[in-house]
Structure 1
Amino acid sequence: MDNFAEAIAFSQSHEIPWPRDPAADPAHWGVHHDDPPPFNRLRGPVHPRGGVSGVILVRGKEVAAWGEPDRADQTFSVAKTYLAILAGIAHSRGLLNPSERVSERIPGIGFDSPHNRKITWEHLLTQTSEWQGECFGMPDQVEHYRRVSYDPKPPSGKKGDLRPLNEPGTYWEYNDVRINQLSLALLHLFRKPLPEVFLESVLEPIGGGRDFRW
């Protein structure tokens, strides 16, 4: 434990400043505050979280732990990793080709306009699709000009302002609405709830899946 004391102390001193209970202070919980109205509000479901937790394994043996590592807590952008893995599984099953246009495989779910017809699976997976539309009631515009850390080309406008779209594959933008559209496309591709596919194809084969929810 002493060998990792500094790392553990660093973890414990860098807890996210959001309230642990979303219901207790919803105005200061989440990453939605910079969104333009009416999208600058919490969208659930969410639940209270625990404090900072962690486990350190060395050669498969647990050598340190802190917090509540067995607690099931929410994670967010890890969903992009899940989707990338699921896309890889779909590719291994012959369900998608990265260079194939999405509209050729699954028409009728938002890839049929002249602009969106050009979008490939690779564009969706690399956040260069420039997909335009609404997904689950959210327009892609709400994420226009979104700022992210270490972006080599910071956006030049205000988040949520409409900007001219570029050709699919030529412009990178961190856009969670388009990530949701990728989720929808994969759902139609597998024709099965994505959490079930992930559980059966990824977690259970490696002995995981206990208390898993997505």
Structure 2
Amino acid sequence: MKKRMIMLGLVLHLSAQAADYFPPAGQWAATSPASLKVNEQRLADAVAYAIASENKASKDQALVQATTFGAKEPYDQIIGPMSVRAPANGLIIYQGKLIARWGEVDSVDMTHSITKTFLTTVTGLAWQQGLIRDLQDKVGPSMPQGVDLYQGEHNSQITWDHLLRQTSDWQGTLWGKPDWADRPEGQTPADWPNRPLRTPGSHYKYNDVRINLLALSTLYVWRKPLPTVLNEQIMRPIGASSTWRWYGYDNSWIELDGQRIQSVSGGGHWGGGLFINAWDLARFGYLFLRDGQWQGKQLVSKAWIQLARTGGNANPEYGFANWFLNPGRKALPNAPETAVTFQGAGRNIIYIDQENDLLMVARWIGNGDELNQLVGKVLAALPE
């Protein structure tokens, strides 16, 4: 009994040490897997699997866009920057320490829809600071005079919560892209513009036009560029590099308070979005692994995180964009039910597992069951 109590005390001590560690800018403490009782061979096998499971699609993201979305969507013209990505790369952080890395983790690449999680975080900061009073408030009254984004019987019903959960069913055209043209519904192209209208909040639909609407609406609330807000309130405090960039489109410029400002996009569907390296993605993920606090300062409120990681009525596996949840372990059978992933095309992944004090960044892994298999292999390497 005494030995078990000593061991329990040691585990609690190590857990407290891990929770107290925050990587300084430009570095991350590494340790040998064996020092944390991680099975080195199993971990090496997991890394080898991640490398071998690289997405087989072209590294040229413009070409991928043309052969996926462009093959089945109208209005598919690229209107923002795109890039040629690095090979598969990633990081594994356990109990706060780096225990594995692979590939070109310094490469600044598109992160596609993980950008949405950065966007909803910036919207959350506006909520924390009272710029948005209540997420159940309708968005239209927050817009300046003359901005007609939420006019009419249908669009006027939309709340901030609807935008965050991708249940707004907003109808319109933004930056030259009609809402119906993103993943169009209907049997034939003639049906696409005449999609059924659903009551806002009742139907989940992954839609980049509406996410870009959230970005523009949040810009009007902040009254300054969203990359500036993100940099000042999140990226600099967590020690991120200066290499990341957040882009919009060639035509997504507005005049706001006498200044010309670009409204950023929530992903790379038509180009743009966040271009970032694996290290900075890991810092962003680590912020949420540590419940939104960094070195004793609560950057993102726990109340916001609780809302973000709560599934909606229309889709219990999706919180705020892009918080992918694991109820019933359906999405990731190998992961705990409480695990969360931030996901983007390509496939870009931030895996957050508080039960195991585990953070993983996996970039350019296959689109099938590869993520679930990788998670299973990494967890199998951890001590029981």
TM range (shorter): 0.7 to 0.9
Matching residue within 202, 208, 214 for 2:234 = 202
The amino acid across from 1:204 in the alignment is R
The amino acid across from 2:195 in the alignment is R
- Equivalence for 2:330: none
Distance 1:53 1:45 in 2: 22
Matching residue within 29, 47, 53 for 1:8 = 47
Does the CA-based 8 Å contact 2:139-2:159 persist in structure 1? yes
Matching residue within 121, 138, 148 for 2:160 = 121
**3-state DSSP class of the match of 2:234?**
helix
In the TM superposition, what is the alpha-carbon distance from 1:20 to its structure 2 partner?
A: 1.7
Bigger CA radius of gyration = 2
Q: Does 1:190 align with 2:226?
A: no
Which protein has greater RCO, CA pairs closer than 8 Å, 6+ apart?
2
Deviation readout 1:91-122 (Å, 9 max, x if unpaired)? 01111120111111114141122211111101
Distance 1:202 1:100 in 2: 25
Does the CA-based 8 Å contact 2:57-2:64 persist in structure 1? no
**3-state DSSP class of the match of 1:33?**
helix
Deviation readout 1:22-78 (Å, 9 max, x if unpaired)? 46xx376564134333x2344431111100011222333322211111111110111
Distance 1:167-1:3 versus aligned 2 partners, 3 A rule:
same
The amino acid across from 1:213 in the alignment is R
- Equivalence for 2:82: 46
Distance 1:91 1:123 in 2: 15
Matching residue within 227, 243, 249 for 1:211 = 243
Matching residue within 155, 161, 166 for 2:198 = 166
In the TM superposition, what is the alpha-carbon distance from 1:212 to its structure 2 partner?
A: 1.4
Q: Does 1:35 align with 2:72?
A: yes
Matching residue within 153, 163, 175 for 1:136 = 175
Does the CA-based 8 Å contact 1:19-1:29 persist in structure 2? no
In the TM superposition, what is the alpha-carbon distance from 1:89 to its structure 2 partner?
A: 0.4
Distance 1:201-1:209 versus aligned 2 partners, 3 A rule:
farther
Does the CA-based 8 Å contact 1:35-1:142 persist in structure 2? no
Distance 1:136 1:34 in 2: 20
Does the CA-based 8 Å contact 1:32-1:42 persist in structure 2? no
Q: TM-score, normalised by structure 1?
A: 0.85
Show structure 2 runs of 5+ residues with no match: 1-39, 247-384
Q: Does 1:86 align with 2:122?
A: yes
Distance 1:121 1:187 in 2: 13
- Equivalence for 1:110: 149
- Equivalence for 1:149: none
Matching residue within 90, 100, 105 for 2:137 = 100
In the TM superposition, what is the alpha-carbon distance from 1:144 to its structure 2 partner?
A: 5.2
Number of equivalences: 202
Higher mean alpha-carbon deviation, 80-89 vs 53-62, is at 53-62
In the TM superposition, what is the alpha-carbon distance from 1:210 to its structure 2 partner?
A: 2.7
The amino acid across from 1:3 in the alignment is R
- Equivalence for 1:68: 104
Distance 1:69 1:21 in 2: 18
Distance 1:205 1:109 in 2: 36
Distance 1:201 1:28 in 2: 32
Higher mean alpha-carbon deviation, 169-178 vs 158-167, is at 158-167
**3-state DSSP class of the match of 1:118?**
coil
**3-state DSSP class of the match of 2:47?**
helix
Distance 1:205-1:30 versus aligned 2 partners, 3 A rule:
farther
Q: Percent identity?
A: 37
Q: TM-score, normalised by structure 2?
A: 0.49
